[in-house]
Structure 1
Amino acid sequence: MVPEKIRFSISDTLSEFFEGEDPSNPNSFTFTDLPPGTYEIIVQDELGCNILQEVTITEPEELVVANVDTTRKPVLWLPTVRHS
């Protein structure tokens, strides 16, 4: 069974619609490079029926790396001895 196609639009361009970008999952679309904020998304089916959804994108937590020793440590190589 082939899923019905839906289209997506996101504010500030609620008049511009996008269709799914993955043929194996046509009812998904990835919006990239959106800054944090609240967005309205309109999803429209093939019959033109719409649903409005509000989505909030938050700023990711800051990644902190501390107490990292970056000095090189000497490596001790031991020869392998084989007994016959």
Structure 2
Amino acid sequence: MSNLLVLLRKSHKFEKDQVAAQLDLSIEEYDQLESGQFKLNPQQAELLSELYNIEPRHLLADNTPVVNYNIGTYSRGITNVQNYFEGSEDHPD
């Protein structure tokens, strides 16, 4: 998780103090989130999902590898390769 927070922040060109302010945290408290000492709570995940334009569930998942982020016209993170599907939402399971 902590690698994802760092990757998202840097790819959006935010400084730690900017993201900390969005979460109403001190820089030190935000550092603890990025370092993995503390986990995001659902409210923090919601705020960050709005900031980064991603689903909150991606921020709350444990050990989610990021395969691809911010490439091309239809930029988005592909964080769970096993469940990734490129196409309509009506795809069969």
TM-score (structure 2 length as normaliser): 0.21
- The structure that is helix-richer by fraction is 2
Which one has the largest radius of gyration? 1
- The structure that is strand-richer by fraction is 1
